[in-house]
Amino acid sequence: MKYRLWHFKETLVMDFLVDERYKYARHVLFLISFFLWLYSARFWQSFSGIYQWYVLLFVYTILITMIYINIYILVPRLFFKTRYIAYLTLLIIMGVIGINMIGYGFRIFFADFRTGYLPRETEKGGIYEGVLMCVPIILTTTTIKLLQKWIKDNQRINELSNLTMQMELNELRNQINPHFLFNMLNNVKALIRTDPGKASVVIVKLSEFLRYQLYENSAEKTLLTSEIDFLSNFLNLEKIRRENFTFSIQTEVGNRTINTTFIPPNLFTTFLENAVKHSVDINGKESYVKINISMEGQDLYFRCINSRDTDYLLSDKKNSGLGLANITRRLELLYNNTFDLKITSEPKEYTIHLKIPVS
């Protein structure tokens, strides 16, 4: 019982730190807490009347501005990108500028409202004490930001792991199932009698198809060439099953080589499955799937176009939509906001455009 209560409290604290639902509540709590802490310093009592509050708000505004610059500019753009020297340098510069602005404001705007004379040496000492006071505040906010990133990264890793496992199970159920193997083996049996050479090719492709699904699919990264070979084998096997079906796979890599480019396995499989399913023509007319993979700089572009028959309705449309939702969420977990996915649906064609960063 005690463990459950402790776990509940821990989860509640973690949710409060990172969940978007509590974003404004976090800021309000921090702003109020910081104001009360600054109020307890009592430096403002050396001024008279209403100017005590003016001084307090003046110092509060400058310090809060410094803190938020650190949280939303310096930490994400420098500290998280391991540019520690630049981060510390700019942090110190910002601290010195902020404290000097406070000292300047005291001398220019509030000097006439002091309740007693303050020697310049004491004023400078107060400024340096202010710098020392700001350091733990800013470092504390940096620590909180690091804790938030650590919690979010762990949540993303766990969700990605669970989602990947779910997708792998779905792919195994949908692709490597008895019905699929039964059809393939029947096709091979028929080809052995009519075209033994082609039957041998089909067996090799089926072997490569299964090997990729069973072994390379479990790795964190796989070569882009392996993924392309898998797409080719998948479409070749589909071509054997269907008449009047054509496909093409084009690669345009520019100055880079696909032999040294790695991507998460089965990243394009869901798109290809949907393309194959939607390309079926119930009237036996020509149907096709066209794939283009290109690379520009540090970005990989994947385009998949398939023909459509408006008279053909899929019986598993719900599951197909779920697959696209899963792959979209997987892309979000893998690439955060650095990927771009566009889906275009037209009467006779269905197009997927995907851009992802590659290292």
Question: How far are the Cα atoms of 167, 168, 213, 238 from residue 178, in angstroms, in the given order?
Answer: 18, 17, 15, 16
Tell me the C-alpha distance between 342 and 244, whole Å: 28
Confidence tier at 234 by pLDDT (50, 70, 90):
confident
| Backbone conformation region of residue 297, classed left if phi is above 0, alpha if psi is from -120 to 50, else beta | left
Q: Is the pLDDT assigned to residue 356 strictly greater than 90?
A: yes
Res 168: pLDDT: 56
Tell me the C-alpha distance between 207 and 154, whole Å: 37
Confidence tier at 2 by pLDDT (50, 70, 90):
very low
- Which has more pLDDT, 182 or 173? 182
pTM over 0.75: no
Tell me the C-alpha distance between 246 and 288, whole Å: 5
Confidence tier at 113 by pLDDT (50, 70, 90):
confident
Confidence tier at 289 by pLDDT (50, 70, 90):
very high
